A and B are shown apart, each in its own frame.
Chain A
């Protein structure tokens, strides 16, 4: 890459959080970031979002947990994670001093749990932002109610925001009738940004055995298959709230990022694509730099919400 391309302006701001480019990784698809070091330069990314953390460790669901579907995959991991204590003492320690912003995704069963995790993380250095998962569809009590009821969404956002020293992003569920309503509810609760979409609830059945493929019966659909739904929801939410929108759903290239930015996203997260190509996030940053250079844009920010409606 030539030095002119390296010097293009890709920077975006998520509320008070400044990112050198809009490419983040999606929670649950990038481990605790260290797993990807053999394949890419973490420092080239806008931010990394680590695997969702709960108050207590969770073993996750029994197998099978994943199955491929056309242009996508279903997962029912069941929020397997090491819990906030081990996350702080083991996983964050590995990321100490890292120069890419680290966003920590959190989840809970009750407002009090979310609040307690936020309190624990408030004392930890090197956390750039908290992302609140109010949408994971996999565990029966795993937050699905928070993401579908506006007043609960406001309450949980408010509780986390009050106890955090860093910007709070709320990750929205697409499994609702009107996602704009929930987006406005979390904005009312004090969210600094919203990210969307989490997975769409789906199902796979093996007609030969007459059984569901996933042990959990239902799971979350991700990958290119959900991109059109995600684009539509980002477009609608971007017009409904004034906080920045982070687009998620089937993104695997610079072209995909540009589409989400045109729809109104300020930044994006790359998810399932990390599984297929562990270099996807870094290659996407390179692709964006080339686009800005070749199209002589002053900055990539010119693309945000620049959709042309005839």
Chain B
């Protein structure tokens, strides 16, 4: 598999809400070969602190030249990135990992929570492009409408209808995405693709398991290198031991993982 370490030019930096930022990077090498569910490692500053790169899902590619990352400002790394300027360069490593496995013969359901919605947009675009069947079901949730609305807009632009849920009820269903999903008719041949908070992914996995529907989840972990060297990014697996999110994932068949039900 090809990977690149590149100085990537920031062609656009947008605030979608007070703390959600979207950066468009000019990087043909990465944009041409990236697959939905893959990620990049980005150096957020020039010095020794923060030291490590930060992982970001690729949320969209365009024209074989650009790709986007979408993130919420949660700490020093993301804060530094949010204060970059258009025209600056970022050091980017990628595309990394194993993404979503798409089979056009069945139907598709995309379930995202919060900033975990980011990689699902790339997937929705690919499904729309290569699969001719029914458009995918899309269920997206976040804490508030202010957070969710900008994340939903890109799906709407693809012509997809989105089932929304917010914790505070300010947009769509008042509650969790799992409640919405339970009310929807999922076809027996459906594959569910999930990215979001761990409890949400667990709930969707259990629902899919009960209905005997395939479920792919994108896992977020502590990660130092993103390329199989540090062995930090592990997730427990059903057969015993661990899998490495950076090269065996970040997308896994939910059945393969060991979900610690608490």
Q: Which residues of A are at the interface with B, using a C-beta cutoff of 8 A? A: 28-31, 35-36, 38-39, 51, 59-60, 62-68, 70-73, 75, 77, 80, 223-224, 272, 274-279
Q: Which of B2, B231, B240 contacts A38 (CB 8 A)?
A: B2
- B contact face: mostly helix, strand, loop, or mixed: loop
Please give the distance in Å from A3's CB to the nearest CB on chain B.
Answer: 26
CA distance A39 to B232 in the complex (A): 20
Q: Which of A29, A63, A224 contacts B230 (CB 8 A)?
A: A29
- B222 contacts A31, CB within 8 Å? no
- A65 contacts B222, CB within 8 Å? yes
**A residues near B53, Cβ cutoff 8 Å:** 275-276
**A residues near B4, Cβ cutoff 8 Å:** 38
Please give the distance in Å from A184's CB to the nearest CB on chain B.
Answer: 33
Assuming the contacts A63-B221, A277-B5, asked whether A35 and B229 have C-beta atoms less than 8 A apart, the reply is: yes
Q: Which residues of B are at the interface with A, using a C-beta cutoff of 8 A? A: 1-5, 43, 48-53, 91, 93, 221-225, 227-236, 240-242
Q: Which 10 A-B pairs have the closest CB atoms?
A: A66-B232, A275-B225, A31-B229, A224-B48, A275-B224, A59-B241, A38-B3, A65-B232, A71-B48, A35-B228
CA distance A30 to B50 in the complex (A): 21
- The count of A-to-B residue pairs whose CB atoms sit within 8 angstroms is 95
- B234 contacts A73, CB within 8 Å? no
Assuming the contacts A63-B221, A67-B222, A274-B225, asked whether A223 and B231 have C-beta atoms less than 8 A apart, the reply is: no
18 CB < 8 A contacts A-B: A28-B231, A30-B229, A35-B227, A38-B1, A39-B5, A51-B231, A59-B240, A63-B235, A64-B222, A65-B231, A72-B51, A73-B51, A75-B224, A75-B232, A77-B232, A223-B48, A275-B52, A276-B53
CA distance A59 to B242 in the complex (A): 7
In the complex, residue of chain B having the shortest beta-carbon distance to the beta carbon of A227? B48
**B residues near A275, Cβ cutoff 8 Å:** 52-53, 224-225, 229-230
**A residues near B1, Cβ cutoff 8 Å:** 38
- B3 contacts A68, CB within 8 Å? no
Assuming the contacts A36-B229, A272-B51, asked whether A62 and B93 have C-beta atoms less than 8 A apart, the reply is: no
Please give the distance in Å from A51's CB to the nearest CB on chain B.
Answer: 8
